[in-house]
Amino acid sequence: MVRVEIPVDFREILQPASFRGIPFKVKAAEVAVGRSVVVHRFPFRRPFGEDLGQDTTEIIVDGFIIGDEYLNGRNKLIKALLQPGAGTLVHPTYGYLDVKLVDKTRLREQFIEQRGMVSFSLKFIEDNDEDELLSQVDTQLAVDAACDAAYASLESDFADNFSIKGMPGWSIESITSEIKAAADAISDLRQRISFNLSGLSSLVLAGEQLKSSLVGLLATPNALATELGSLVRGVVNLFDFSAAQQSIFGESSAVRRPINQLLGFTSYGATRPTIAATTPVRTQQAANQAAVFTLLARAAVIEATRASTFEIFSSKDDAVELRDALYAALEEQILAASDTVYRPLLDVRAAMVQDITDRGADLATLVATTLTASMPASVLSYRLYRNVVYADELVERNQASAELIHPLFLPASVPLEVRRV
């Protein structure tokens, strides 16, 4: 960066000039600094400038190489000027600068007057670190990738705990029935959501295929885990996120919210009969059952996290609420996880927190307001925001808490959630 502090006696800091190690003499130098301002002009209005930040700093050096060996110095300088990328310029007063050459450089030689010298004018710009350039990370894609990566560890952990080796027929029949019941529970989950019909047939077919091939899958735990995980993963593809978020009357969008349904499914195992580990066979049977329930719970949390990438937040408060809910659900699974699953679940949580935090950072916050008299939602929207477009949002946001009956009657004496003005 160009330094502007100058000591009392400038002779103390004068340095021999060079570029990429090639020395030359300097007879004059300039530095052009300023702001990048765009002037906007409209008919019958005064022009105004928009400040886009600091402009490029330009450094112009008028130099020369003189002496009997000036041709050798000239050729070396030409090679230095033709090299790509940034180079080090030693400026007589600013010292060492990382710069890039801009524009063509003309090297002028005279053969009658001032012979034995080549003169030139070099124009540089300061080389700013390209890492400083703003880049946008696709945080939603990062969440999706972390969720995909976690399944390998889930399947490996399942295979470590699930086994039917040496198990009697009645025990195998028991775990078979349990897995079929889990598949039916996933089918019931489909009935409680707004879904996209395009993927429904394939998911139904996958569930039926799992049931029909279950006997063979029991002997290969990794394959069984893959099939069970696929059933849960397939549910996310059915969600019609726009339908779930656009419901105003009837069932609340919070009830039909895809993430809420998946998070609720994590407790599926708690609703099933437990197996007392009274004998070695019963102990393994209980371990098999627990392995199935644990796999389903982890898959449900992972898919709830994946579903969060489709959420469109209307306020920072909504984003924080969902982030905290997913964090708590993942934390519960992480605390009970084996070493195999621990790190992948941490990666999922970290990606989720980064994604929701980034997407919610610039959103409006919510405050509570209480009306002294009832009024239509469009009127309140205009009073608050000078625009009626937020009327539907006011109704939807307060439908449950304020028990709204009609958008023309936002109630008085009841705290309403509104965007901060």
Is the pLDDT confidence value at 247 over 50? no
Q: How far apart are CA 309 and CA 307, in angstroms?
A: 5
- Burial degree of 321 (CB within 10 A; 0-12, 13-18, 19+): middle
pTM for this model (two decimals): 0.59
DSSP 85: S
161-167: average pLDDT: 85
In this prediction, residue 328 carries a pLDDT of 95
Rounded distance between C-alpha atoms, residue 46 and residue 383, angstroms:
32
Give residue 269's pLDDT band: very low, low, confident or very high (50, 70, 90). confident
Residue in the structure block whose two tokens are 């007057």:
113
For residue 2, pLDDT beyond 70: no
Q: Which residues contact residue 340 at a Cβ distance below 8 angstroms, ignoring those fewer than 6 apart?
A: 153, 156, 157, 160
Buried/exposed code over 353-387 (b: 16+ C-beta within 10 A; e: otherwise): bebbeebbeebeebeeeeeeeeebbbebbeeeeee
* Mean per-residue pLDDT of the chain: 82
Residue environment code for 40-52, b if the CB has 16+ CB neighbours within 10 A, otherwise e: eeeeeeeeeeeee
How high is the pLDDT of residue 252?
A: 39
Residue 215 has pLDDT above 60, yes or no: no
Residue pLDDT, tens place only, 363-409: 888 888 888 888 888 898 898 888 888 888 888 888 766 567 677 78
Give residue 5's pLDDT band: very low, low, confident or very high (50, 70, 90).
low
Give all strands (DSSP E) within 165-216, no chain letters.
none
> Taking 50 as the threshold, does the pLDDT of residue 86 lie above it?
yes
> What's the confidence (pLDDT) of residue 421?
65
pLDDT digits over 317-360, tens only?
889 999 999 999 999 999 999 999 999 999 999 999 999 999 98
Are the C-beta atoms of residues 86 and 19 closer than 8 Å to each other? no
pLDDT of residue 23: 92
CA dist., res. 272 & res. 187, Å (int): 16
For residue 149, what are its two tokens?
A: 């990566």
CA distance linking residue 223 with residue 46, whole number of Å: 72
Share of the chain above pLDDT 70, in %: 83
